[in-house]
């Protein structure tokens, strides 16, 4: 059973060592806390730490600490649980909880990961302040034994792994050293390695002599001055804390002083972490209090910064508070605010100093950051500052609002946008034609979150956001771009007016109005939303999620300057056969729907009409 468990919960066998070192470090930290009340517990052995002893000949690896140690009852309680509770209870839980990390926390599977590499584990231990030493032994098959021993350390615990076949490598110093480098940089106590001295000048001193080397100094990396930390140190800590394999795109390391004191070491990854769009929007920051790990479940950053991983270490929060109490503490609120602002300002700086790195960050996390435009009212302007967009003039993206506003056209008072789910289709949208003719830039918003924030946003730099698919879109005050000819906006000929009325009647079931368009140049027709309804893009999104109580009818706009439209108007005024104008009305609607990525209103009727039209064209 244990066999099954240790092999299914852990896939990377190396991490058994991290678990055992973490336990040793925990034991030291516990003793340190107890010694605050009773200094005699430390006696003459106050340098707390973890020691790893490699014995390649004996095929053992020993993890010892001079921490708090365990009594007989502690051993039964702490290490007997799984073996004792038996397979049934364990299996039941395993069925419920497939999440391995949860399991580890609940069952103390951490220690049992030793059986991934050991065929037998001996735990020799003596509790601080006690005379009794104990030996716990198990082969990991479910049973264990405990007996008194004189071989226990003076204080603390010694875990001896008798390595299984195929795992002898873990008795080699270089293997152990590699694992500690990869996983051990956050250990809060020093870690030493004791290994046989390398036999020099052919002198085969039979394995007696050993040497001790320090692998980790126990100073939590975030407490060190920046000057003492190499980029490699940062990277390996990042990879351990974030469980990522890439390089951090941005490393933020600072100490806040003043009303609240805390250290922050946070990383923005360069590739998106797993489950980034999980609806739980779980964060990736850990809280420490004076170097003691408290929780990784607290909401330290807002949801839209959930891709940031790292550590916040507070000097002010009391230890031993429940998670709920900490979450509501004003100190955490202040920390949350400070760290959030700092991360946003660092992103802003990055966009300035390293535009390429920033572009990659925005590409990976822009859709997440934009959630903040919707939900973090306070920091909306800061977020607008770093947000980058694709626009009709820069379809490749990377356009800031600041740049947009700096190049407004004469008399342009709004920031125009177009929402949809397909960037390419937006670029080709007929709605943009009139804007292009006047040289007006339009933001092309194709992330799902765009439709939401843009509805609520008041504006940027005093310029309101306006949808090109909503309302009348009067842009006639903006002069035409060079080379474009003025179309007669105001005076729609009597013939066209009649056509508009005719089409409106014909399409009464599908559209609320039919009018002449000032936003079209080359296309004959497009659909827009009424002045007060949701934008066309948002409406489609809501409809797709079943969130639309009743669909509003769009407005069909026809381009009075288009040859087809004027020809249809003539045809209508000539009287006679109206059928062809009727067909055209429906086909224009279907064509406008197609431009938005929608199917024809009535596919069968569409096919009939198109066939009729083709037949008459071919003659
Ligand atoms: P966890 O560390 O998550 O509690 P583990 O399986 O790693 O789970 O350890 C189970 C328990 O065994 C610990 O909570 C601790 O009480 C005890 N323990 C393990 N290793 C040591 C150690 N080196 N010194 C003292 N106690 C230990
Ligand atoms: Mg543990």
Rounded Cα distance between 61 and 52, Å, is: 7
Task: Verify whether ligand 1 is closer than 6 Å to residue 110 (CB atom).
Answer: yes
Ordered alpha helix ranges (H), 151-295: 173-183, 231-242
Helical pair 100-107 and 2-9, crossing angle rounded to 10 deg: 130
**CA 65 – ligand 2 centroid, Å:** 13
Task: Verify whether ligand 1 is closer than 6 Å to residue 175 (CB atom).
Answer: no
Evaluate whether 332 touches 317 at the Cβ level (below 8 Å).
Answer: yes
Q: Report the pLDDT value the prediction gives residue 453, as an integer from 0 to 100.
A: 92
For residue 109, give the ligand 1 atom closest to its CA.
Answer: 6
For residue 105, give the ligand 1 atom closest to its CA.
Answer: 3
Given this structure, which CATH class describes domain 222-359? alpha beta
Q: Report the pLDDT value the prediction gives residue 220, as an integer from 0 to 100.
A: 83
What residue owns the CA closest to ligand 1's atom 8?
Answer: 108
For the cut 70, the answer to whether the pLDDT of residue 240 exceeds it is yes
Query: How do residues 567-603 score in pLDDT, each as one tens digit?
Result: 999 999 888 778 889 999 999 999 999 988 889 989 9
For residue 19, give the ligand 1 atom closest to its CA.
Answer: 7
Given this structure, which CATH class describes domain 2-213? alpha beta
Beta strand pairing call for 465-467 and 415-419? parallel
For residue 156, give the ligand 1 atom closest to its CA.
Answer: 24
**CA 102 – ligand 1 centroid, Å:** 16
Task: Verify whether ligand 1 is closer than 6 Å to residue 152 (CB atom).
Answer: no
**CA 536 – ligand 2 centroid, Å:** 54
**CA 70 – ligand 2 centroid, Å:** 14
pTM surpassing 0.75? Answer: no
Q: Report the pLDDT value the prediction gives residue 85, as an integer from 0 to 100.
A: 38
Question: 494-618: which CATH topology?
Answer: 1.20.120
Task: Verify whether ligand 1 is closer than 6 Å to residue 76 (CB atom).
Answer: no
Greater pLDDT, 73 or 216: 73
Task: Verify whether ligand 1 is closer than 6 Å to residue 371 (CB atom).
Answer: no
Rounded Cα distance between 351 and 361, Å, is: 9
Task: Verify whether ligand 1 is closer than 6 Å to residue 25 (CB atom).
Answer: no
The chain-wide mean pLDDT, for the chain, equals 86
Greater pLDDT, 503 or 485: 503
Q: Report the pLDDT value the prediction gives residue 295, as an integer from 0 to 100.
A: 79
Query: How do residues 166-206 score in pLDDT, each as one tens digit?
Result: 999 999 999 999 888 766 656 778 999 999 987 665 555 55
In the chain, CATH 3.30.565.10 sits at 2-213
Task: Verify whether ligand 1 is closer than 6 Å to residue 103 (CB atom).
Answer: no
Q: Is 614 exposed, middle or buried (0-12, 13-18, 19+ CB in 10 A)?
A: exposed
Query: Confidence band (pLDDT; 50, 70, 90) for 38?
Result: confident
Rounded Cα distance between 556 and 589, Å, is: 7
For the sheet with 555-558, list strands across it.
513-516, 555-558, 525-528
Q: What are the backbone angles phi and psi of residue 463, rounded to the nearest 5°?
A: -105, 120
The pair of three-digit structure tokens given for residue 229, joined into one six-digit string: 């930390």
User: Percentage of the chain surpassing pLDDT 90?
Assistant: 54
For the cut 70, the answer to whether the pLDDT of residue 253 exceeds it is yes
Query: How do residues 101-146 score in pLDDT, each as one tens digit?
Result: 333 333 435 788 888 899 999 999 999 999 999 999 998 877 889 9
What residue owns the CA closest to ligand 1's atom 12?
Answer: 78
What residue owns the CA closest to ligand 1's atom 1?
Answer: 108
What residue owns the CA closest to ligand 1's atom 21?
Answer: 23
In the chain, CATH 1.20.120.790 sits at 494-618
In the chain, CATH 3.30.230.80 sits at 222-359
């Amino acid at each position: 059973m244990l066999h099954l468990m240790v092999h299914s919960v852990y896939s990377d066998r190396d991490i058994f060592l991290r678990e055992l070192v973490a336990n040793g470090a925990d034991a030291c930290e516990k003793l340190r806390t107890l010694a605050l009340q009773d200094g005699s517990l430390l006696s003459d052995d106050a340098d707390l730490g973890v020691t790893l002893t490699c014995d390649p000949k004996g095929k053992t690896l020993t993890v010892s600490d001079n921490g708090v140690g365990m009594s007989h009852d502690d051993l039964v309680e702490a290490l007997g649980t799984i073996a004792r509770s038996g397979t049934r209870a364990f299996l039941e839980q395993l069925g419920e909880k497939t999440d391995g990390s949860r399991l580890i926390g609940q069952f103390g599977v951490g220690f049992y990961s030793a059986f991934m590499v050991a065929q037998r584990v001996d735990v020799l231990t003596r509790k601080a302040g006690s005379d009794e030493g104990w030996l716990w032994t198990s082969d990991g098959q479910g049973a264990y034994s405990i007996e008194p021993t004189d071989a226990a350390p003076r204080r603390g615990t010694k875990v001896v792994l008798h390595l299984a076949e195929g795992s002898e490598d873990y008795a080699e110093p270089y293997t152990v050293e590699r694992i500690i480098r990869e996983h051990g940089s956050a250990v809060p106590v020093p870690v030493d390695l004791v290994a046989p001295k390398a036999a020099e000048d052919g002198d085969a001193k039979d394995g007696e002599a050993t040497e001790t080397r320090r692998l980790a100094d126990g100073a939590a990396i975030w407490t060190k001055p920046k000057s003492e930390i190499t980029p490699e140190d940062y990277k390996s800590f990042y990879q351990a804390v974030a469980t990522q394999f890439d390089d951090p795109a941005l490393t933020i390391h600072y100490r806040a002083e003043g009303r609240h004191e805390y250290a922050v070491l946070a990383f923005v990854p360069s590739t998106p972490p797993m489950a980034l769009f999980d609806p739980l929007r779980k964060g990736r920051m850990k809280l420490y209090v004076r170097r003691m790990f408290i929780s990784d479940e607290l909401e330290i950053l807002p949801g839209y910064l959930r891709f940031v991983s790292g550590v916040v270490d507070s000097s002010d929060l009391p230890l031993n508070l429940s998670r709920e109490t900490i979450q509501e503490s004003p100190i955490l609120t202040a920390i949350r605010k400070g760290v959030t602002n700092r991360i946003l300002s660092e992103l802003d700086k990055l966009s300035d100093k390293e535009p390429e790195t920033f572009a990659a960050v925005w590409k990976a996390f822009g859709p997440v950051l934009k959630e903040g435009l919707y939900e973090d009212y306070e920091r909306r302007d800061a977020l607008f500052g770093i947000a980058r967009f694709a626009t009709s003039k820069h379809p490749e993206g990377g356009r800031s609002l600041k740049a947009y506003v700096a190049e407004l056209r004469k008399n342009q008072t709004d920031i125009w946008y177009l929402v949809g789910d397909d960037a390419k289709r937006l670029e080709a949208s007929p709605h943009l034609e009139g804007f292009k003719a006047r040289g007006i830039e339009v933001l092309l918003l194709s992330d799902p979150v765009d439709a939401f924030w843009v509805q609520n946003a008041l504006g940027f730099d005093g310029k309101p956001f306006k949808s090109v698919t909503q309302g009348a879109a009067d842009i006639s005050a903006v002069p035409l771009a060079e080379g474009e000819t003025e179309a007669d906006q105001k005076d729609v000929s009597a013939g066209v007016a009649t056509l508009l009325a005719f089409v409106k009647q014909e399409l009464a079931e599908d559209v609320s109005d039919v009018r002449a368009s000032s936003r079209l140049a080359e296309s004959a027709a497009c659909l827009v939303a009424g002045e007060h309804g949701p934008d066309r893009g948002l409406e489609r999104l809501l409809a797709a999620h079943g969130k639309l109580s009743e669909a509003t009818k769009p407005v069909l706009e026809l381009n009075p300057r288009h040859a087809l439209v004027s020809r249809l108007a003539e045809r209508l005024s000539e009287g006679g056969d109206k059928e062809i104008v009727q067909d055209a009305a429906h086909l224009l609607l279907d064509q406008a729907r197609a431009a938005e990525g929608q199917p024809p209103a009535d596919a069968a009727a569409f096919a009939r009409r198109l066939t009729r039209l083709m037949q008459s064209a071919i003659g």
